[in-house]
């Protein structure tokens, strides 16, 4: 019965909690110290616990089951929300960034509920995840979560920069930290995510065998292109002082490449072609 509840009711309830928290955050825009912020964080905490339970039920049970694009997206969304919540312990962090992170998590929960995954036997899972691959999986998921949060901050930087240039400071923009602080947070997230992405790429090339047989070539090439974009952004920041629109464009371009790498290739393989990278060709 508990398993049935996790697979049916829990995703819907989790998505509802994320959306309710988003609504409370929206109501508190322009009102520092609003009680709605505390309520939103409380709802988010409950949602994260439910979300984590669902992911544990998917990824940790034997035999491994329902591991597909929707499950992978949901796990990355959970990491994104956790990183957002942890970031709130730092000074000058924009609580309003949750207005982007929480709806993404809600969408992920709904997709996981709407799109059931194929069953993977324990033998297939063992073949697909040889020793050492755990480093690749964890670092890749952390990289995506951190860089996704960087993408959220890129949107906030764009909003503030655009409003300053037009001299139109609405309640949302006035509630955000100053532009220079947002940019420092953005580049801090990009640098951290870039480090994890580097570990993920190296460990993947070392530990994942038969890239051609497992249909991972396109995924790897796109991830490398994203690595190049983020590396260029960090180099440009250090050598040329890049900021503003350039930083926003490159950050979002890198995120787009990661989305195509992590989920685009998986969508084509599983949904369009009806295959799995677990299986041999």
pLDDT interval class at 123 (50, 70, 90): very low
**Long-range pairs, 228-236, Cβ under 8 A, ≥24:** 229/253, 229/254, 229/257, 230/147, 230/190, 230/193, 230/194, 230/197, 230/254, 231/194, 233/190, 234/187, 234/190, 234/191, 234/194
The average pLDDT across 98-110 equals: 91
* Distance, CA of 76 to CA of 90 (rounded, Å): 22
What predicted TM-score, i.e. pTM, was given to this entire model?
0.79
Burial class (CB in 10 A: 0-12, 13-18, 19+), 79: buried
pLDDT interval class at 103 (50, 70, 90): very high
* Distance, CA of 150 to CA of 188 (rounded, Å): 8
pLDDT tens digits, residue range 210-237?
A: 554 455 677 788 889 999 999 999 999 9
pLDDT interval class at 116 (50, 70, 90): low
Q: Is the pLDDT of residue 117 over 80?
A: no
Domain boundaries, given as residue ranges, for the chain = 1-124, 129-281
**Are 142 and 80 spatial neighbours (Cβ–Cβ below 8 Å)?**
no
What kind and span of H or E run contains 167? none
What mean pLDDT, rounded, does the chain reach? 79
Residue 179 has what pLDDT? 85
**Are 254 and 230 spatial neighbours (Cβ–Cβ below 8 Å)?**
yes
Tallying the residues shown for the chain, one arrives at: 281
* Distance, CA of 141 to CA of 89 (rounded, Å): 22
* Distance, CA of 100 to CA of 96 (rounded, Å): 8
């Amino acid at each position: 019965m508990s398993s049935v509840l996790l697979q049916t009711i829990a995703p819907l309830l989790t998505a509802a909690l994320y959306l309710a928290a988003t609504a409370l955050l929206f109501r508190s825009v322009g009102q520092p110290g609003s009680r709605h912020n505390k309520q939103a964080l409380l709802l988010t905490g409950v949602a994260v616990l439910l979300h984590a339970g669902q992911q544990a039920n998917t990824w940790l049970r034997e035999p491994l089951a329902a591991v597909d694009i929707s499950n992978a997206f949901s796990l990355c969304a959970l990491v994104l929300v956790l990183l957002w919540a942890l970031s709130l312990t730092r000074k000058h962090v924009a609580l309003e960034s949750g207005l982007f992170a929480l709806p993404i998590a809600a969408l992920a929960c709904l997709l996981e509920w709407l799109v059931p995954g194929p069953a993977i036997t324990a033998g297939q899972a063992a073949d697909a995840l040889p020793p050492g691959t755990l480093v690749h999986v964890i670092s890749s998921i952390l990289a995506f979560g951190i860089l996704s949060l960087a993408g959220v901050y890129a949107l906030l930087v764009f909003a503030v920069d655009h409003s300053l240039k037009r001299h139109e400071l609405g309640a949302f923009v006035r509630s955000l930290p100053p532009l220079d602080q947002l940019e420092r947070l953005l580049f801090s997230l990009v640098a951290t995510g870039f480090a994890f992405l580097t570990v993920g790429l190296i460990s993947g090339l070392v530990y994942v065998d038969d890239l051609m047989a497992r249909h991972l070539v396109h995924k790897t090439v796109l991830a490398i292109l994203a690595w190049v974009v983020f590396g260029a952004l960090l180099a440009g920041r250090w050598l040329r002082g890049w900021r503003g629109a350039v930083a926003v464009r490159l950050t979002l371009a890198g995120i787009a490449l990661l989305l195509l790498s992590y989920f685009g290739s998986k969508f084509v393989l599983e949904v369009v072609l009806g295959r799995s990278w677990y299986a041999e060709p």
